[in-house]
Amino acid sequence: MGSAWGVDASRLLVTIGRWIPAAMADLPDRVTVRVGLDEADDAQALREAVARRLRRPASELPELTLLRRSIDARGRNVRFQLEVAVGVDPHSPPPPRPREVSDPGVAIVIVGDGPAGLFCAYELASRGIACTVLDRGKTVQPRRRDLKILNKGGRVPEDSNYCFGEGGAGTYSDGKLYTRANKRGNVRGVLSVLVDNGATPGILVDARPHIGSNKLPKVITSMRERLQAVGVEFRFGAKVVGLLTRDGAVVGVRLADGEELEADRVVLATGHSARDVHLFVADAGVRLEPKPFALGVRIEHPQPLINAIQYGSDAGHPKLPAASYRLATTVDGRGVFSFCMCPGGWIVPASTTEGELVVNGMSLSKRDSPFANSGFVVAIEPHDWALAGFDPVRGGVELQRRIEEAAWEAGGGRLVAPAARVADFLAGRTSTTLPRTSYIPGLQSADLAAVLDVAGLPIAARIREALQVFGRQMRGYLTEEAILVATESRTSSPLRIPRDPTTLEASLAGLYPAGEGAGYAGGIVSAAIDGVRVAERIAAEVEARARS
């Protein structure tokens, strides 16, 4: 992120001055200022901008600390908008660090090593509580080799891919840290842990923090190694296929090789694509409920075009990162919106099963790909799939699968994705040619409406209408060089495992659903926050038991 801003991350916290004169006592705690692109790295320019804003002499201002930075592209000139603390110490306490763990008197098993599971283990270890983390996939380095197989259009390794393995779906599919989950928990606390494990400090101040798929694996590895060093156990290639129960409580888990592990507390943090988990949870007598999700395509443009649309004459300025966008509208009472936008990124094959085609977006830390891509999805409600004849509870998963199978067939197999130029899709025709793309397995011209509407829902029509709206909002968005690639279908889980709002347990005592797969998060940070919340609940029980 530092190189994208043209700023050394170590300089992002700007401190000037060491004293507070009496005349400054009535200053606000925080102030927002705007500075030019060439002033972004200039501490004195920042000080003078704050002084002008406060109408005070710059020489008399107390310490200034940069809290947040965003891009203001309104008007003729792009500027940086900076939120600055004036004469206060705004810093959060240092992030928690794991310490030597001990047997808490209960066996705690965490199923899934994505952000929810990893941060759950991290929080428990910061309190000295031992646990065992199980994951069906591999650690980050051998997982990388399986991704090369996927990108070459080979077979789909079902337990090691862009969705499964150490770090979960976010590890190799971008590492964006955008969230609106501040009400759910301590966002800065999560970001601080990531920085403490090697992420650039810039994520603490950037309005749209991003680590990158080339750097996040090292951060995830650091977190795991720290936990192992204090006694937390990790087991990879350990696929859980069932819950062991007795008298209405969980007593362990069963692995695919037949091994059974005893457990008094089981945290299910298995991600949005672990569909088999819902099956064995239901077999154990746990109720499931349907949850809205979104489904559609990836849209890809040349990145210079998006830069020009967003930045105007300032496009190409060395201090500006690859431009992003966020779009939303409503069509026939359903939201249609951009999702997981990847400036300077790549479209990747995110399938988890042979015969089903799923795509996702990612970008590296520098975001220097010549392409920009984003999910372009339609909100799907349980009522929609029930009217289409699917099971009222589990029908969302079947809807996903039906469309993913249609995409696989339309692409001709081997992860080749069906695609169409935006202009052709709007005209209702199949493209005769396709432009260059970032999607390595390759594209096949196809009738995307036939793919998206295979289950009978009017997804294509809603995307067409939304495209026209977005084309008016961003002039140039409906270019001949823009393409749609199917399918973006794993935006979130269509199922939720209900849990008590206080104890966070499911109807099965000792079972704690967490993160995206359980229906309580929608990205890396919100999943991590939910994992921390579950850990805090378990720790409170363990500590209360120790006192009794």
Here the contacts of 62-65 (C-beta below 8 Å, separation 24 or greater) are 62/17, 62/19, 62/20, 62/21, 62/24, 62/27, 62/86, 62/87, 63/15, 63/16, 63/17, 63/18, 63/87, 64/14, 64/15, 64/16, 64/17, 65/13, 65/14, 65/15, 65/89, 65/90, 65/91
pLDDT of residue 388 exceeding 50: yes
Q: Which of 14-18, 117-121, 189-193, 426-430 has the lowest mean pLDDT?
A: 14-18
DSSP state of 323: P
Window from 61-70, 266-275, 287-296, 298-307 with minimum mean pLDDT? 61-70
Mean pLDDT, the chain, as a whole number? 91
Q: Is the pLDDT of residue 181 over 60?
A: no
Nearest CA among 145, 129, 75 for reference residue 312: 75
For domain 108-289+497-547, give the CATH number: 3.50.50.60
- Residue 15 pLDDT greater than 80, yes or no: no
Predicted confidence (pLDDT) at residue 512 exceeds the cutoff of 60: yes
Strand-pair category, 30-36 with 79-86 = antiparallel
Q: Which of 174-183, 276-285, 374-383 has the lowest mean pLDDT?
A: 174-183
| Site of tokens 């949005």 | 272
pLDDT computed for residue 182 by the predictor: 57
Q: Which helix (H) or strand (E) holds 455?
A: none
At 213 the pLDDT is: 86
Residue 490 confidence (pLDDT):
95
pLDDT at 540 over 70: yes
3-class DSSP state of 546: helix
Amino acid 92: pLDDT: 66
C-beta neighbour count of 431 within 10 angstroms: 22
> How far is 29 from 261, CA to CA, in rounded Å?
53
If you ran DSSP here, which 8-state letter would residue 129 be given? B
Cα angle, residue 264 at apex, residues 272 and 160 outer, rounded to 5°: 30
**Half-sphere CA count of 400, side-chain side, radius 13 A:** 29
Contact 297, 488 (CB under 8 A): yes
Q: pLDDT by residue (tens digit) across 151-175? A: 887 789 999 999 999 999 888 877 7
CB of 219 within 8 A of CB of 171?
Answer: no
**% of residues, the chain, pLDDT over 90:** 79
Structure confidence at residue 25 (pLDDT): 58
Structure tokens at 426: 């709007």
Number of residues written out for the chain: 548
Q: How confident is the model at residue 545 (pLDDT cuts 50, 70, 90)?
A: confident
Domain(s) of CATH 3.50.50.60: residues in the chain: 108-289+497-547
CB 191 within 8 A of CB 201: no
* Cα–Cα dist 506/291, whole Å: 16
Strand-by-strand arrangement of the 265-268 sheet: 233-236, 132-135, 108-111, 265-268, 511-513
What pLDDT was estimated at residue 40? 79
Pick the range with the lowest mean pLDDT from 6-20, 77-91, 401-415: 6-20
Query: What torsion do the CA atoms of 121, 127, 131, 136 make, to the nearest 10 degrees?
Result: 0
Q: What does pTM read for this prediction?
A: 0.92
